[in-house]
Chains A and B, each alone.
Chain A
């Protein structure tokens, strides 16, 4: 990737800073997508060493809110992720868990088990699989090239049902049929990824837990979570993902009933 692929952002007056959860939560100029997109240019000029350059781009949690907002269609998050991936040793994805059941549809469970409700709703048995790392999504985005192949082999002949945008992305890369369960409507407040049908408080767009961000940038991840909780201002919330809900609950958000029955709510929408 040439340095010029970053210059549109480097000369932009930070027009996506208000949708970037990390920039909003940390209020740091270095955490704006614009600043992070300047890092590869500085590195190419020799103004930043490799370690500093990686650190400078590590604040991106890859949620893609900047990409979605960009009016000249620069894939900001994707470029940053790719740039980082090319400079990091490829991480390994966690081993894939065994599939429980023989049904053709497999509910991919990230945290809570909503598969029984889903099975009852559609009137057919479902198989389940638990994943601790969203089928290796974070590792894949950071350059672990074997993830889609492993997932394709593991689920061959099955249809995946998921509530997670990350799992959906991996499944699509693996060439598997996948159904993304939409989030419920008509509730009070929502925290969801930018590509969901709902908006987060003040377009914060991500809970702060996405991908490997918590491990990579724990302080910034915590700041994003706390900013979400502050913006929710005590309102009851619904999360598009149980993992997000759990993360936000740890930081004091009121996310109870609706999320615990999220599977049923999603089923109602899908049906």
Chain B
């Protein structure tokens, strides 16, 4: 039996295996009132309907996936969805304060509704394999008072990555940063407001041109897609830089400061004005669906989202582009940007048999793993990625199986999906090291705090989230939705080492970093900050800052620390009250 929301998932999680029954949840659609910034909502509520209901109360989740018109709240939680403003607000799993879950052998609450063992991190990402989510308690925020968007053109993706990383690592908290690679910029018309205003997605534009000549209609469409290497080379050759859209939202005074400093860090690019950003915002849910001519002719078009730390991002981008480019025309954009890394969203189209399509996916997923990325950032696992995801999370497969047999002893729920048997050799232990590009440190999880902090200080770094005990103990500490506290980990489970590669906000199943017992940790990869950077210390509480939408870099005993180019102005803002 497969829980079914609105069926928008692109990886096939809701399809079920042969003979499966669908449990359609769309009539579970009650939305409660907002209380203490939380709203209780049933799983079958369509995303847009939730936002409409919240907007009438001056609230929002700000979870804004492209699929918001055709996906449900329950599906968001089950697949660890991410919205377009995840850089500021986190992924949907971060917005969920509690769940009620019905499993064949148990009914239980998670998070704030938990009566003991909190199984929330297992359920979110389990894609219906552990239970049916029957209710959710979701965090809301006030509707943003102000929004500021802009667009910049960079000569290369590498230059743009550096600028994006600088913005995130300078605590400027953009709501959105989206970079279109040169092919996407060229073919999708992201370069100018005028072109963008035409709303011409690249395949649409291509099809319209091809289909406007009846005599050539049959041949024009299929030919270029049948020669992907040639078309990829041509597209790359005629490309002219790449466009980045950046946006901030929140209280007007805070947005003004953050956006101005953000623009300064993006100034290596050519400022294109506000038009492209505003256009993107107005049309952000209009995913391309004029693909019928391709499908009708036996072609395929699809998307793939992966993620990696900043230091591994170039390898991930190059590796997957090459892998997909052997089979299809490919372009990409970079979004869901965090201090430690970002997601890459590949779009591709080609012709050929199902074998070609399967080979493309296999090659692309292998390339993702080889480059040290996660195979899923927000589309989940489903049918397409189940083997690749199982390899990525092999270390928790046994625990998942044990939990599933406790909650679902007859294996009724979405059988055969997550964690199919895979053969993964025992990995080597990760090295204790600092990744200065991604501002991450891989450290001994069981080391004492003094020894650990001294080791970091000797190299010019400090923990972004100070810990008084071991990092293993701190791994489960409460965190804000936008925080990444444990990015990677290695653990010894049942006498065997498991390594969970450092990746930003994976959706390749349940988050192993949130479910491992503290005693099993060997290493953790956590965010760090350079000691040499100037900081502003203030005697405010974190809550006082957050009430103004000012986000402290670090919370210390007796106050908070602001970091980055906007720190002085934000501190002055706080002082003015």
Contact = CB atoms under 8 A, between A and B. Distances in A.
A187 interface: no
Contact of A27 (B8, B24, B48): B24
Contacts of A29: 7, 24
A72 B290 contact: yes
Given A4-B296, A8-B289, A29-B7, A13 B53 contact: no
B403 interface: no
B459 interface: no
A85 to B, nearest CB: 24
A137 interface: no
Contact of B53 (A7, A8, A16, A202): A202
A10 B292 CA distance: 8
Given A29-B7, A71-B283, A15 B289 contact: yes
A205 to B, nearest CB: 12
A229 to B, nearest CB: 14
A71 B282 CA distance: 12
B7 A18 contact: no
A10 B29 CA distance: 26
B496 interface: no
Interface in A216-251: none
Contact of B29 (A17, A27, A203): A27
B52 interface: yes
Nearest to A6: B292
A203 B52 contact: yes
A14 B66 CA distance: 12
Contact of A13 (B8, B46, B48, B296): B8
A11 B295 contact: yes
Contacts of A16: 69
Contacts, number: 59
A202 B29 CA distance: 12
B69 A17 contact: yes
Nearest to B285: A15
A51 interface: no
B176 to A, nearest CB: 20
Interface string B269-299: 0000000000000010111011110011000
A27 B27 contact: yes
A188 interface: no
B6 interface: yes
B296 A14 contact: no
A202 B8 contact: no
A18 B48 contact: yes
A17 B6 contact: yes
Nearest to B30: A230
A96 to B, nearest CB: 41
Given A8-B292, A27-B24, A202-B53, A15 B29 contact: no
Given A8-B290, A27-B27, A202-B52, A17 B296 contact: no
B480 to A, nearest CB: 30
Contacts of A202: 49, 52-53
A220 to B, nearest CB: 14
Contacts of B290: 8, 72
19 contacts: A11-B289, A12-B289, A13-B8, A14-B69, A15-B70, A15-B285, A15-B289, A16-B69, A17-B69, A18-B69, A24-B46, A27-B26, A27-B29, A29-B7, A29-B24, A71-B283, A72-B290, A202-B52, A203-B52
Interface of A: 4, 7-8, 10-18, 24, 27, 29, 71-72, 202-203
Given A18-B49, A27-B26, 13 more contacts: A7-B292, A10-B292, A11-B295, A13-B70, A13-B289, A14-B69, A15-B70, A15-B286, A16-B69, A18-B48, A24-B49, A27-B44, A202-B49
